[in-house]
A and B are shown apart, each in its own frame.
Chain A
Amino acid sequence: MIASDHVVLFVFSPKDIMIYDEESDRHVHISFQQALYATCYGATNGPVGDLFNLAELGKMSAEKKCAFNSGKSEKEWVDLGVAAAKDKTPKSAQDIVDALIAAVDAGQWVPVELVIARPFIEHLMLSAVVAVAGRDTGATLFGPADMQISANTSVKTIEGTQTSTKQRTPCLNTMLPQCSPSLSLSCSQATTPASTPHSPHP
């Protein structure tokens, strides 16, 4: 609730819009001025030319002209467009931008459009693999089980590799008593990546 001595006043120009912000989960007010500046039209390294086709404003249909009440006359807008199309300089573009902002700030309609795009929306996505059950689709092949042990003398470690068809095989702890005190046995399970080598005598 807003206290009576606090007046919250939102001033929207006719060309402002609200866009949903997915990060803050709210609608955000985008002013016409900010959107126009974002086009870089009028900047020294921005696009040049009559990008709003103001020079051809005279070809607008009579129906559209009925809504044409922008403060400037049609000829004034056309002159700005002709200058921008002819000069192709940032200065002529700046004249158009300044005139547009002044008109919109005065609450007047202007014969332009701005297209705002969010071309890089990115989400993490889930995929699925669907298969028909049964032997017709394929098979899971199980290889032979074996156990290989080798000694690495440089690090004084006995390493064992157990290849099994079971998901979880008892760890090699049963072999620990057979190790000499100076050796350690490397033992880790593929299903528990965080496991560390065991040493019988730290």
Chain B
Amino acid sequence: MLSHSTKSVITKPQNVCVMRDVMCSGYVAGGNTRFFGAGKGGFSTYGDANAVRNDMEARLSFQDDGNGEYMSMLAFCAPYGDGAKHDQVISISSRLLPWEVNRPAADRKEYFPGGKKNFDAANPTFALDSIHFGEDVRAAENMEFISQVSLFPSRNFNPCYPLGRQHRQQC
């Protein structure tokens, strides 16, 4: 066995900058046009909420990592004219956007499609908070990610271990 006894030591961290995720190197999943719960043939009638939850769970846990054929899209009902106030990001989980945290509880989730009323109807139906499962809570609490203002629950890769999925980051 051959080993090396070398160590790199940084004595001035100000001179070092770690730039995460500066460039895309490949597509994984989540960008197709199939609805969660649709199956392969699409919907023939009203969608089944259980199927949506199962598909989301399969996607988030990479149950089918062999061929990676996951669904990608969710659909939400909204009143006419509701989209006019959605020129920024939306949060589809119970987490609040930064500009919502200081609002009274009754005014929160206004940026969900259809507002708080629709969120209260969709959240238990689709188990939307499940998208946070497996994420690095400590990193999120320390605001190490920009995920607090992001729509997407994506995974983050440690640059030191580029092949290891470490955790998801989420809004």
Contacts and interface: CB of A to CB of B under 8 A. Distances in A.
Interface of A: 19-24, 28, 30, 33-43, 45-49, 51-54, 56, 60, 64, 94, 97, 111-132, 136-145, 159-165, 167, 169, 186-191
A142 B35 contact: no
A45 B49 contact: yes
Contacts of B154: 120-122
Interface string B113-151: 110011001100110000100000000000000000001
13 contacts: A23-B32, A41-B46, A47-B122, A51-B79, A114-B78, A115-B75, A118-B73, A125-B24, A127-B18, A128-B23, A138-B12, A140-B7, A143-B6
Interface in B27-57: 27-33, 35-38, 42-43, 45-50, 52, 56
Interface of B: 1-12, 15-33, 35-38, 42-43, 45-50, 52, 56, 59-60, 70, 72-83, 86, 90, 92, 113-114, 117-118, 121-122, 125-126, 131, 151-155, 157, 159, 162
A164 B80 contact: no
Contact of B114 (A51, A60, A145, A186): A51
Main DSSP-derived SS at the B contact region: mixed
A93 B134 CA distance: 34
Contacts of A36: 75
Given A34-B35, A38-B37, A38-B43, A163 B4 contact: yes
A194 to B, nearest CB: 14
Contact of B155 (A37, A48, A122, A131): A122
A40 B48 contact: yes
Nearest to A167: B4
B48 A43 contact: yes
A139 B9 contact: yes
Q: Which residue of A138, A142, A145 has the most chain B CB atoms within 10 A of its CB atom?
A: A138
Contact of B24 (A123, A136, A160): A123
B4 A111 contact: no
A115 B121 CA distance: 15
Given A127-B20, A161-B1, A38 B75 contact: yes
A141 B120 CA distance: 58
Nearest 4 pairs of A and B residues by beta carbon: A143-B5, A22-B31, A127-B159, A53-B79
Given A34-B42, A119-B152, A40 B17 contact: no
Nearest to A136: B12
B2 A64 contact: no
Contact of A186 (B1, B20, B60, B76): B1
